[in-house]
Amino acid sequence: MTYVIAQPCVDLKDKACVDECPVDCIYEGPRKMYINPDECVDCGACEPVCPVEAIFFEDDTPEEWADFRNADAEFFAELGSPGGASQLGPVERDHPVVAGAPLPTA
């Protein structure tokens, strides 16, 4: 059980949460940030700083964004535990739920 980043982050990615994370476990995809569940220490520091309230403790993710509940964990199925987002840099592909999300309206 860990924190996840839901739909409001898509195409925003202001990275306010990244600056708060003590273990550098918030990784960047093309359209959304992702929390690595194996590296997150559940400190909760990221959650209150998100300007759009996109970060939730997994079980508390609103039903409307249920698709996002497992997206972060699945995003790391291939990547594993890189050990630091700043060292890895941006990842080139999003989870399918994110890649298929509607584009923001102008």
Q: Which residues bind ligand SF4 (CB under 6 A)?
A: 3, 5, 9, 12-17, 20-21, 23, 25-26, 33, 35, 40-46, 50, 52, 54-55
To ligand SF4, the closest distance from the beta carbon of 33 in angstroms equals 4
CB-wise, 53 or 66, nearer to ligand SF4?
53
Contact 45, 21 (CB under 8 A): yes
Q: Which of 23, 89, 19, 17 is nearest to 54 (CA)?
A: 17
* Rounded Cα distance, 42 and 46, in Å: 9
To ligand SF4, the closest distance from the beta carbon of 16 in angstroms equals 4
